[in-house]
Structure 1
Amino acid sequence: MRRFTRTLVAAALTATVVAGTAGWASGSAQQAVTGAPVGTDAWRADGLPDPQAMTPGQIGAYFAALGQDRQQRLLGTHPSVVGNLDGAPLALRYAANARTAGDRFAGQQVLAYDPRGRGQAVLVYGDLARAEHVAVIVPGSDVDAGNLAPLTRKATALREAAGGRTAVVAWAGYTTPVGVGLDAATGDLAEAGAERLIRFTEGLDTVGAAEPSLFCHSYGSVVCGLAAEQLKAKDLVVLGSPGMRAANAAALNTTARVWAAKDPTDWIDRVPNIRFAGLGHGADPTAPEFGARPVPAGDADGHDGYFAPGTDSLRAFAAIAQGDVR
């Protein structure tokens, strides 16, 4: 009965979105990619410590104790593991992922790459180790290692607007929904993504990167909402959000400043802010009673226009990332 109820509610939500978005197709079911990196069995077989049993802080301490020569040997023998260990040295991870990804991201700084499923990737724009400020963009549906262009456009626009003191991370580090369907209406993929995002921010802290501002778009705001209590972040900025699975900003239990943006032409405004039988994501973060700080977005265009150059929203995002807004 519960499954039938969920299906009915999902159908209603999908019909609402399709009616308001010029006919988006219903999405296909996705299996979240989780667990240890590819190659971990061989890593363990060599007597190396289980990465799943270590925190990013412990991983950082482990690599610091190895010395450069041993680090380079591990890079050569286990690049797919080294490249995906949050807390490992940044330069080592970049070099490891350059090997495993080959020419797929030629010339870019790849902080993580997982080829399983549709693929996951984390790209860095700027000097993450030395930047005074760090911004991380968490995307919504349809973003994966084979479809990074929508995310990288946002990242490069924010990097240009914020200037050289800010490094920007395009974090396609979780399995996103495809289209609009049951996955997009539930929190299952977001829960798996939240665990990865928490670990990622812990890894940034371990390597001494600046505390990040997170910019969470669409379904990515569900990920950020579920992760909020444990995230090491100074700002949570949600844009085009269907809800954060929290009744209000206080219920997120975060010390980060919470911001919200939604432009008047965004189709997400037609999605009901409900939670029923595990479906829907709850309160609208832009509603005054939610308690988030408002971000101007009146001149953004549609669901994907928040990072368009020249918009008030992009200027506000850059100011938030730089700590220029109190």
Structure 2
Amino acid sequence: MTGALREDPPPEQVRSLLEAAARMVAARDALTIARDALASSPTRSPALTALAGAIDAEARGVDEFLAGLYRLVELAEDIWADLDGPHPVPASGRDRLRASLDRAVDNALTDLARLAGAGEVAGPGRTGAEPLDTRATVEAWTEATPDEVYSSVEHLSPADRRLLALAEPEAVGGTYGVPWAVRARANSVLVRRALHREQLAGTPWSPRIGRLETMTRRGPGRRRRSFVGFSPLRGGRMIEVVGDVGPRTEAVAVYVPGTGTNLDMSHVNTDVAVDLVEAGGGRLVVVAFLDGEFPQDIMADAGDPRYAEAMAPRLVRFCREVDRVIEIECPGAALTVVGHSYGGRIVGTAERLGMRADRVIYAESPDLGVGVSGPADWRSPGPVRRFSFTSPGDPVELLQVRWGLRRAWSTSDLSDGATRLDTGYFADGAPVYGTRGHGGVFDRGCGAFEAMLAVMLGGRAPLWRDRRIRARHTRVDPGDDGRVLPTVWRHATGLWLRRADDPYGDAEILWEAPERLVAVPVSTRAAGHGVVPGTGGD
């Protein structure tokens, strides 16, 4: 995957639908202004109150029609992309696809008829004379538990679930307990709506438009991407599920990235999730958790605890949601939470608040979390296997040494709270080292990447081993790990004195300690399938 793409000019059928949407938005806004004027009038009378209520009902009706119209826009763009776009499907499959698209158009027209209150299709427990009240349905969720929300949605017919997602996308897309497939459908409406707002406003091309465009496109296998959380506000938020949660799933990983993360650059995080899922061979599902504001500048605000304090409660709650989904879809699958860089601080703070996980990986984490001075401050409700990665020569070790989290000659890391694993080598044979190693631990094929898979799925992972490494202007010697003076000098040279001359480049290993391995058990679900650790399920 690449970065933001240039905006493609919409085809004729999409332009006409966007023009219709613009007219409907204008009509809705006019009704809203009239309603507000009547509601704020100093004159009070039953007639004015009744008129304001009638206008409000009309405005809400237009909003519901807009949801259906945006669905038509999605269909029109899919038709163009699949049949006449730059990457059309093979000619042999076009007739079959045209037939399926015709059925999809019929479904969309049925949705519009249902929004208008005509042609109602009966669902379980309802007759055609009892249309689904989408607003009442979501309002009932205010005091409901996730299990109660799930039950209220699960009994609906597929047509009603689709209608609910289209008519109330904000509530459906952000409510825990709603089945992930329904949340993803609702958030696809919100993503498309955010893109159309940018287009209707005449916004020139920007990374945000490019990112929203890529989010609406299909992924590998021409499948829609699955967002169970989304917001375009400020830096943007999203929760993306990569992989299929189902009978083959043996493990689910929640990946929390670090400084610099935002919606516009979220393709980097999606790439990490896709690589892990592909390497897992269908046994692993990865969720990219970007549900909050991240620090954007490593020098200006990466030390600010407010971001972690704000996101940690959301992570705790989301992990409960993942547990609930696992119980329904793949009982016994292991839940691993991975925090990278500042994401490690978020994860550690969440552990202090009671986050439940089977395994936790702190990758290049600067500390144990806000308000955490040692592992005793973590309040996990059950047993947790904790692991950590820090590539040698990574400047983040300055913070780790500052807080006393590193010990020389020891695979016990983070104040004895985690087992430190080895980062190894990149696929090109270079050691995972220095500034390249900070994000490089997620490069597919490197030692840290393979060790992460072993933790998530079960297997044998290499323990950290001491090395003598020489780079262009920096070095690591045996026994340096956890020592203050060698660490400070190394990064004073790398970050200030020789910063312009690639001080961490051209790293080579002159000596390394023997390899040692630690066994990580497979999940109870995988064990029930007869999977042996390290066999990849074969």
Q: Could you tell me the TM-score, scaled by structure 1's length?
A: 0.77
Determine the structure 2 residue equivalent to 1:32.
none
Aligned to 2:234: 117
CA 1:165/1:272 → structure 2, altered by over 3 Å: closer, same or farther?
Answer: closer
What's 1:221 paired with?
344
How much has 1:52 moved relative to structure 2?
A: 5.9
Deviations 1:216-259 (A, max 9, x none): 10111111111115223111101110102323334313222111
Partner of residue 95, structure 1: 185
Task: Name the structure 2 match of 1:136.
Answer: 254
Alignment partner, residue 323 of structure 2: 205
> What letter is aligned with 1:215?
V
What is the distance in 2 between the residues matched to 1:184 and 1:288?
A: 19
Query: For residues 59-106 of structure 1, what are the alpha-carbon distances to aligned partners after superposition, in whole Å with 9 as ceiling and x for unaligned?
Result: 323323555444333212111221222221111112112221124412
Distance 1:265 1:128, change over 3 A: farther
State how far apart, in whole Å, the 1-side matches of 2:271 and 2:406 are: 26
The answer on 1:265 being equivalent to 2:393 is: yes
Aligned AA (2:437): G
Within a 5 Å distance, the mapping from 1:223-262 to structure 2 comes to 223-228=346-351, 229-245=353-369, 246-254=372-380, 255-262=383-390
Q: Indicate whether 1:46 and 2:135 are aligned.
A: yes
2:426 is the counterpart of 1:302? no
Cα separation, 1, equivalents of 2:443 and 2:418: 22
The 3-state SS of whatever aligns with 1:237 is: strand
Distance 1:268 1:72 in 2: 47
CA distances 1:268-289 after superposition (whole Å, capped 9, x unpaired): 11236557xxxxxx74596364
1:323 maps to 2:458: yes
Q: CA deviation at 1:50?
A: 6.5
Counterparts of 2:444 and 2:265, CA distance in 1? 21
Deviation above 6 Å: which 4+ runs of structure 1?
Answer: none
Distance 2:307 2:141 in 1: 22
Q: CA separation in 1, counterparts of 2:355 and 2:437?
A: 29
> SS state of the match for residue 174, structure 2?
coil
8 Å contact from structure 1 (residues 242, 284) kept in 2:
no
Deviation at 1:306, TM superposition (A): 0.5
What SS class does the counterpart of residue 254 from structure 2 fall into?
Answer: strand
Counting only pairs closer than 5 Å after superposition, residues 131-210 of structure 1 correspond to structure 2 as 131-181=249-299, 183-207=301-325, 208=328, 210=333
Distance 2:343 2:140 in 1: 29
The CA distance in 2 between the partners of 1:307 and 1:51, in whole Å, is 39
Determine the C-alpha separation between the residues in 2 that align with 1:295 and 1:117.
36
- Cα 1:306/1:236, change in 2 over 3 Å: same
- Which amino acid is the alignment partner of residue 59 of structure 1? V
Kept in 2: contact 1:243–1:284 (CA 8 A):
no
Would you say the 8 A contact 1:137–1:214 is kept in 2? yes
CA deviation after TM superposition for structure 1 residue 148, in Å: 0.8
Shift in alpha-carbon separation, 1:92–1:262, aligned structure 2, 3 A: same
Matched AA of 1:224: V
1:114-142 per-residue CA deviation (whole Å, 9 max, x = no partner) reads 11111111222210244221111100111
Task: Give the gaps of 5 or more residues in structure 1.
Answer: 1-41, 276-281
Displacement of 1:112 in angstroms is 1.4
Instruction: Report the Cα distance in structure 2 between the residues aligned to 1:296 and 1:53, rounded to whole angstroms.
Output: 47
The CA distance in 1 between the partners of 2:141 and 2:402, in whole Å, is 38
Please tell me whether the aligned partners of residues 87 and 204 of structure 1 are also in contact (alpha carbons under 8 angstroms): no
SS in 1 for 2:317: helix
Residues 218 and 239 in structure 1, CA contact (< 8 A), matched pair in contact too = yes
Give me the whole-angstrom Cα distance separating, in 1, the residues matched to 2:406 and 2:261. Answer: 23
Where in structure 2 are there 5+ consecutive unaligned residues?
1-62, 65-133, 193-212, 219-224, 426-431, 460-519, 522-538
Q: Which has the higher helix share?
A: 2
Structure ranking higher on relative contact order (CA contacts 8 Å, 6+ apart):
1
Moved more, 289-298 or 49-58: 49-58
Number of the residue aligned with 2:536: none
**55 and 217 in structure 1: CA distance in 2 versus 1, 3 angstrom threshold:** farther
Q: TM-score, normalised by structure 2?
A: 0.48
Distance in structure 1 (CA, Å) of the matches to 2:368 and 2:312: 12
- Letter aligned with residue 268 of structure 1: V
Against the structure 1 CA distance between its residues 71 and 288, is the aligned structure 2 distance closer, same or farther, given a 3 Å change threshold? closer
Asked if 2 retains the 8 angstrom alpha-carbon contact of 1:241 and 1:284, the reply is: no
Larger radius of gyration: 2
Q: Measure, in 2, the Cα distance between the counterparts of 1:288 and 1:235.
A: 15
Deviations 1:145-200 (A, max 9, x none): 11112212221222232221111111111211111245321321111111111121
Name 1:59's counterpart in structure 2.
149
Among all aligned residue pairs of Structure 1 and Structure 2, give the percentage whose two residues are the same amino acid. Answer: 27
Q: Kindly provide the CA deviation profile for residues 264-310 of structure 1, in whole angstroms up to 9, marking residues without a partner as x.
A: 032211236557xxxxxx74596364230122114334210111122
8 Å CA contact retained: 1:139, 1:151? yes
* 270 and 298 in structure 1: CA distance in 2 versus 1, 3 angstrom threshold: farther
CA distance in 2, matches of 1:129, 1:79: 25
